[in-house]
Amino acid sequence: MTTTKEWSVAGMHCADCAHTLERLLREQAGIDAEVDYTRARARLRSGIPPSGEALDRALADTPYRLAPLGNAADSISSSSGGLEIAIIGSGSAAFAAAIRAGEAGARVTMIEQGVLGGTCVNVGCVPSKIFIRAALVRHYAGHHPFAGLGHAALAVDRARLQAQQQHRVEELRQAKYQSILDANEHIHLIRGRARFGGRRQIEVEAEDGRHRLRPDRILIATGAVPAIPSIPGLAGTPYWTSTEALAATELPTSLVVLGGSAVGLELAQAFFRLGVKVTVIELAPRLLPREDPLLGERLKRYLGQEGLRILTGAGTESVCHAGGKFELRVDGETIRTERLLVVVGRRANTDGLGLELAGVATEPNGAIRVDSHLRTGAEHIYAAGDCTANPQFVYVAAAAGTRAAINMTGGEATLDLSTMPTVVFTDPGVAGVGLTEETARLRHLDVETRTLELENVPRALANFDTRGFIKLVANKENGRLLGAQVLAPEAGEIIQSAALAIRNHMTVEDLAGQLFPYLTLVEGIKLCAQTFTRDVSQLSCCAG
């Protein structure tokens, strides 16, 4: 009995390749084949279904690769030939790499065991910013500063808000991820769980069976998952991570947030503004412990004035859950709450990948070690995004993915993070770029700084909202801008001007002489630069 199966073909560069492949399969494996170059397909006919080993031997030292279609168990490749890239993950780093590698002519196999698109679009940036914006609108309706306008306590239907939020998530996942897959002939998706079977082999347990890949290059882009602290009693309780908090269709009456960094503070303020009693507990002595100390100090003041309870330098001794309530012991105090949100950071999602079989080294926390070219210790394996030790921001992940693809396809690109801006989407927001005063002095740089309160920025006065400041750090010898920190409403819309200034080696004098549009908050960058040489309180509006 003769069986016929169709296989995809990689490594063909012209119609003659199809005839060559037919001959090789006939002579080396005794398989009758019809190879279609235009479709990159081969129909194999044989009395006994060909084994992977037989095809490997037949195609050894050739540029051709066969991969089974339908329910075939294994994907077979030769040891050399046209560039084949496998990417584990489907988030921002993975897609940026896949698109760039495809543009370079590589054939890309993407492997994803969960929801397409990774953290940002599904459970991170997109849903959180929708949630935060909705809370801000409600807060302003009841707390705006304008005389003659009434104040309203807007009703909250969390289920409808969450449904709208999820609908936009699904729209963006379709537009920015699924539609790209559908339209890009260079990228093929396998849905399944991947792990290394050796230095050059990936095994995938998929819905349609087991796949075995032997690509020329591999990119690990598996992202990160919430880190959970080892607090007695916490394990096994129904605590939230940011994922569950954003998916909730009902608001609790009270919420304790463990973690006083970006995500914790963003969600804490949003829940409070939607009517939830919120307590934030941070183990470090200040909020935002990695940022300039003044940012955390002032943000704590503003959040406290708004009504949140903020505990810093506070250790959580134990957690228990009974009768639908949480009870926390915090420095001897008992705190009771309906819901507990744990947001103390994220750790690399590398468990179970078999990295040791591939020769890929990790940090103690599981983060993959990469060099400036995104290479791991195995020369053919790269890593990008939150599974590495690089900063966990989606724009860093995408940039890393692009550069990894350039390098996997023969280029030389490095990831420069010297002018990487950061943003915390609280209100007022926090943003920074470059060096803080503290880090500059730790590097033994001779710096001078200026801090401009927002009460000196005309737009802040016009908004009747002068919460915050702008701080610039400059090299004392030559005046070059080294860093900027901003605490202001919509701080993220301000910081990129400072990032571009640092990138282009501008001095504070250069900044002070630039044209900035009047009655914008970003004009505060110019005004702060002017304070290095003059008293801006003595200048008229728009003074150049």
In 119-262, DSSP assigns E strands to 187-198, 201-206, 209-213, 217-220, 224-226, 254-258
Whether 320 is a known active-site residue: answer no
12 part of the active site: yes
Which candidate in 37, 64, 177, 518 is catalytic? Answer: 64
355-359 LR contacts (CB < 8 Å, sep 24+): 355/196, 355/220, 357/196, 357/197, 357/198, 357/199, 358/196, 358/198, 358/199, 358/218, 359/199
The catalytic residue among 302, 387, 420, 541 is 541
User: How far is Cα 406 from Cα 384, in angstroms, rounded to an integer?
Assistant: 12
17 included as an active-site residue: yes
Q: Does residue 229 have a cis peptide bond before it, meaning omega lies within 30 degrees of 0? A: no
Q: Do 521 and 452 contact (CB within 8 A), yes or no?
A: no
Q: Which two tokens stand for residue 189?
A: 């998706």
Among the listed residues 37, 125, 140, 302, the single catalytic one is: 125
- Distance between CA atoms of 474 and 463, rounded to whole angstroms? 29
Q: Is 387 a catalytic residue?
A: no
Residue of 110, 120, 387, 528 marked active site: 120
Beta-strand runs (E) in 245-286: 254-258, 277-282
In the residue annotation, 14 being an active-site residue is answered as: yes
If phi > 0 it is left, if psi is from -120 to 50 it is alpha, else beta; for residue 188 that is beta
Angle at 121 between CA 118 and CA 122, to 5 degrees: 70
**Nearest residue to 408 via CA among 88, 104, 66:** 104
* Angle CA 12–16–18, to nearest 5: 55
Clarify whether 64 is annotated catalytic: yes
Closest to 349 measured CA to CA, from 118, 117, 59, 511: 118
Q: Which of 17, 110, 387, 528 is catalytic?
A: 17
Secondary structure class of 313 (helix, strand, coil): coil
Write the secondary structure of 209-229 as one string of H (helix), E (strand) and C (coil).
EEEEECCCEEEECCCEEECCC
Contacting residues for 292 by C-beta, under 8 A, at least 6 apart:
432, 436, 437, 438, 471, 485
Q: CA 272 to CA 137: how far, in whole Å?
A: 13
* Dihedral pair phi/psi, residue 443, rounded to 5°: -90, 10
List the catalytic residues. Answer: 12, 14, 17, 64, 120, 125, 541-542
